[in-house]
Amino acid sequence: MSIQNTRTTKEDGVEQRRITLSVNGEPHSAEIEPRLLLAHLLRQGLGLTGTHIGCDTTNCGACTVLYDGEPVKSCTMLAVQADGHEVTTVEGLGTPSELDPIQEGFREEHGLQCGFCTPGMMLAATELLRRNPDPSEEDVRWALSGNLCRCTGYQNIVKAVLWAAEKQRAGAAG
Q: Rounded to the nearest 10 degrees, how much is the dihedral formed by the CA atoms of 50, 39, 57, 9?
A: -170
Domains of the chain, earliest start first:
15-92 (3.10.20.30), 101-173 (1.10.150.120)
Q: On the CB side of 56, how many CA atoms lie within 13 Å of its CA?
A: 3
Q: How many CB atoms lie within 10 A of CB 149?
A: 22
Query: Residue 8: pLDDT band by 50, 70, 90 thresholds?
Result: low
Average pLDDT, the chain: 93
Question: Cα separation of 6 and 25, whole Å?
Answer: 23
Looking only at the bridges linking them, the beta strands covering 15-23 and 86-88 are parallel
The packing angle between helices 155-173 and 101-108, to 10°, is 130
* 119 to 6, 127, 148: CA distances (angstroms): 32, 13, 12
Contact 38, 93 (CB under 8 A): no
Residues of the chain above pLDDT 70, percent: 94
CA distance 38 to 44: 10
Say what the pLDDT of residue 173 is: 80
pLDDT reported for residue 2: 40
Residue range 57-105, pLDDT digits in tens: 999 999 999 999 999 999 999 999 999 999 999 999 999 999 999 999 9
pTM: 0.91
pLDDT surpassing 60 at residue 5: no
Q: Report the alpha-carbon distance of residue 163 to residue 160 in Å, rounded.
A: 5
pLDDT digits (tens, 9 = 90+) for 19-45: 999 999 999 999 999 999 999 999 999
Contact 110, 56 (CB under 8 A): no
